[in-house]
Amino acid sequence: MKKISLRLACLFLVAAMSVRGDQTETAPRSPLITIATSHWSLSLRAGADGRLYQQPVGTPPAAGNLKRNDEFYPQAGDGYVWEPALQVVHADGNTSTALLYEGLSQTNESADVTGTRIRLHDPAYPFNVTLCFRAHAAEDVVEQWVEIRHQESRAVTLQRMASTALLFGNNLYLTHFFGDWAKEMLSPITEKLTPGTKVLDSKLGVRADQFSNPSFILSLNGRSTETSGQVLAGSLAWSGSYQCEFDDNGGGIRALCGVNPFASAYHLPPGQVFTTPRMIWVWSGQGLGDMSRKLHHWARDFGLRDGHKTRDVLLNNWEATGFDFDFNRIAGLFAPARAIGTEIFLLDDGWFGNAHPRVNDHAGLGDWQPNRQRLPDGLAPLAAAAAKEDLRFGIWMEPEMVNPASDLFAQHPDWVIRQPKRDLELQRNQLVLDLTRPAVQAFEWQSIKNILSVPGISFAKWDCNRYLTQPGSGWLATDRQSHLWIDYVTALYALMDKTAKKFPDTELMLCSGGGGRVDYGALPHFHEFWPSDNTDPTLRVPMQWDYSYFFPCMAISSHVTHWGNRPLHFACSVAMSARFGMDLDLNKLPATDRDICAGAIAAYKQIRDVTQLGDLYRLENPHDTYRGALDFVSPDRSRAVVFAFQLQAGAPLPVRPQGLDPLKHYTIHELNPAPGRAALPDEGRTVSGEVLMRDGLVPSCANAVEASVIELGS
């Protein structure tokens, strides 16, 4: 019975196809499937050949036959000759796959969210693919992922398994972000895609980014601006090696994004489901600003933890003390921390290790017991001392890592990721534990539980300071070594998920030697991320601008430090525009600087509901001009905050805020003005939103490294 239907399906497939030129075509067949949000829809249609086709994004519906080039999720080996979304070796060694449309189901998950599942099957094999979507109407966000399953006699090998393979028309601009340690996201590049392939990827295994970021923007029909243009931004929710490939074959451009196929062949046993990472797409017909605001709305609901709760002001000791501290030095920071108004203290690296004390970055990782010399009674007394000063207490950890100089490594040298017969390659003197090994999973979970269960701890920074360079697992079988990349990240997410569930009231910061892990794969378990070790505010202005395309400012940690030796007023103002924190030795700060910090914190507490929960308008791009400017508007548009950051000397031209209610009246007030500077020309004036947006307001800054933070209240 099964054999007959398979043969019929194959005959049907051949009969329904006709070949014109060098491209197979087929007649369209109902139904038209739409994945729709308020302002965007993805239109798919099964062809008479049974395959699934897509109307390229940004192009009008085509009359006539469907072209093979436009297949929605193309498969390798059976007629499709460009970059495939799926490439499989079946159990019998056949390297071709054909996917035919079988049916779909759509469900309303809420008033705003529609889930769609499209089932496809291979007519020659018990091999099934489900294309999954979650469309968020108001936010114009579509989450897309793929589930692959089969009932073949043995494992099939997945060689490519993209999360998405959207097709576009020809006139497409790509904006992507290159960087490196301390320069994350700092070099946005916009280029017109041309025939050939453009690949953004990483092969780092345990972090998505060191050089290239898995978030990008596609602008249709020309370059977009903050307020104009059709844009589709994409962000791959994956913290491991990824690939985003833009394949322009002259007939259209395909964006294929997913786990990096590099060295990652995955043997999928019968009966198991392989689920790809989610791709997050967001659409706007009104430029980059609207796109970001919608993505931020989505992120507050689905992309990060407690997205509707304001964050406390944090003081970190890393830049202040480095590894050089003990109980007294840290406890001595609490009273001044309270005096200037901070609300959480984060104890960074260096608190653990006894036989191999963590007094520098050469030793101790893996031995998560408090150092008895520095903290004779452990962490709890420090947390209690912080609580006495009304400060919450947080802790740094790097649970995935080990130094060779540690008890852990001495006991379990086989637990690390390494290649046999090769000299161990260290980065920052450390190795990555093999999280595919159940004993390592249990160890890391126990370490996390021990640390976060210390009474008084309600915040943690989860770091990851190296990537994989010798990707071998002593746990995985020799013919399963290529699973390491994917199984590591899957196990990592399980650990992060357990942590978030077991410690629901503990806020988590995602960090990876700076900004190596900034993605919506890990972020749903975290409250914020550390974007870069570089805290020079003149670089943070453009860096935070770039991150804000994809992530709400409440999630972008921004600390005041001495990096770059900039005036503290400028540094505070920059940090206030994101998730505000400090990393200064308050005991060494001159009184005038302490007052500036205290003034900034007090001001920030008045406006943080607007900057963290309001809508962001990017006004002046610091990459283009001598100044950067932003404003945030409260959800009811009754209040706004304008930030102007002067990077170089330049004319004090007015900054024109956006997003205000034209009919409302706003009173202008500069917050925490820099000492010695003249008051704003408009200080205290009450002006309508319409006039403010039309004429703007002149900030108090005009020289390099000056800033103005202006509240508009009504």
Strand partners, 278: 237
Peptide bond preceding 542: is omega within 30 degrees of 0, i.e. cis? no
* Burial class of residue 590, CB neighbours in 10 A (0-12, 13-18, 19+): exposed
Q: How far is the CB of 299 from ligand GLA (least distance, A)?
A: 22
Query: Could you count the other beta carbons within 10 Å of the beta carbon of residue 426?
Result: 13
Q: How far is the CB of 611 from ligand GLA (least distance, A)?
A: 22
SS3 448: helix
Q: Which is closer to ligand GLA, CB of 82 or CB of 563?
A: 563
Q: How far apart are CA 681 and CA 687, in angstroms?
A: 13
* Burial class of residue 495, CB neighbours in 10 A (0-12, 13-18, 19+): buried
Pairing mode, if any, of strands 215-220 and 230-237?
A: antiparallel
Q: Which is closer to ligand GLA, CB of 29 or CB of 183?
A: 183
Q: How far is the CB of 325 from ligand GLA (least distance, A)?
A: 12
Q: Which is closer to ligand GLA, CB of 402 or CB of 511?
A: 511
Q: Which is closer to ligand GLA, CB of 119 or CB of 362?
A: 362
Residues near ligand GLA, by CB under 6 A: 318, 348-349, 396, 463, 465, 511, 513-514, 530, 533
Q: Is 456 left (phi over 0), alpha (psi -120 to 50) or beta?
A: left
Name the residue among 630, 604, 628 with its Cα closest to residue 616.
630
Q: Which is closer to ligand GLA, CB of 255 or CB of 511?
A: 511
Q: How far is the CB of 552 from ligand GLA (least distance, A)?
A: 21
Q: Which is closer to ligand GLA, CB of 493 or CB of 530?
A: 530
Q: How far is the CB of 465 from ligand GLA (least distance, A)?
A: 5
Q: How far apart are CA 654 and CA 563, in angstroms?
A: 29
Q: Which is closer to ligand GLA, CB of 361 or CB of 690?
A: 361
Q: How far is the CB of 358 from ligand GLA (least distance, A)?
A: 9
DSSP 397-443: E-TTEE-SBSHHHHH-GGGB---TTSPPPPBTTBEEB-TTSHHHHHH
SS3 152: coil
| CA 260 to mean position of chain CA atoms | 17
SS3 457: strand
Q: Which is closer to ligand GLA, CB of 365 or CB of 607?
A: 365
Residues 6+ apart with CB under 8 A from 69: 23, 82, 249, 251, 252
Q: How far apart are CA 697 and CA 629, in angstroms?
A: 12
Q: Where are the beta strands (DSSP E) in 6-112?
A: 17-20, 23-26, 28-36, 41-47, 52-54, 66-67, 86-89, 100-108
Q: Which is closer to ligand GLA, CB of 393 or CB of 530?
A: 530
- Joined together, the tokens standing for residue 27 give 């007649």
Its sign, for the CA torsion 608, 709, 314, 211, is positive
Nearest-CB residue for ligand GLA: 349
Q: Which is closer to ligand GLA, CB of 348 or CB of 487?
A: 348
DSSP 470-498: S---SSS-GGGGGGHHHHHHHHHHHHHHH
Q: How far is the CB of 431 from ligand GLA (least distance, A)?
A: 15
Q: How far is the CB of 695 from ligand GLA (least distance, A)?
A: 42
Its sign, for the CA torsion 307, 310, 312, 313, is positive
Q: Which is closer to ligand GLA, CB of 90 or CB of 356?
A: 356
Supply φ then ψ for residue 200, to 5 degrees: -110, 125
Q: How far is the CB of 21 from ligand GLA (least distance, A)?
A: 55
Catalytic residue among 78, 533, 609, 661: 533
Q: How far apart are CA 456 and CA 168, in angstroms?
A: 52
Is-catalytic flag, 533?
yes
Q: Which is closer to ligand GLA, CB of 242 or CB of 396?
A: 396
Q: How far is the CB of 379 from ligand GLA (least distance, A)?
A: 16
Q: Which is closer to ligand GLA, CB of 396 or CB of 520?
A: 396
- Joined together, the tokens standing for residue 663 give 């009919």
Contact 236, 281 (CB under 8 A): no
Catalytic residue among 463, 487, 593, 615: 463
Q: How far is the CB of 461 from ligand GLA (least distance, A)?
A: 6
Contact 360, 307 (CB under 8 A): no
Q: How far is the CB of 533 from ligand GLA (least distance, A)?
A: 5
DSSP 172-185: EEEEEEE--TT-TT
Q: How far is the CB of 314 from ligand GLA (least distance, A)?
A: 12
Is-catalytic flag, 636?
no
Q: How far apart are CA 32 and CA 47, in angstroms?
A: 10
3-class SS letters over 94-131? CCCCCCEEEEEEEEECCCCEEEEEEEEECCCCCEEEEE
Q: How far apart are CA 194 and CA 215, in angstroms?
A: 20
625-629 CB contacts, 8 Å cutoff, 24+ apart = 625/650, 626/650, 628/541, 628/542, 628/545, 629/655, 629/699
- Joined together, the tokens standing for residue 330 give 């840290």
CA distances from 464 to 204, 509, 512 (A): 12, 12, 4
Catalytic annotation, residues: 463, 533
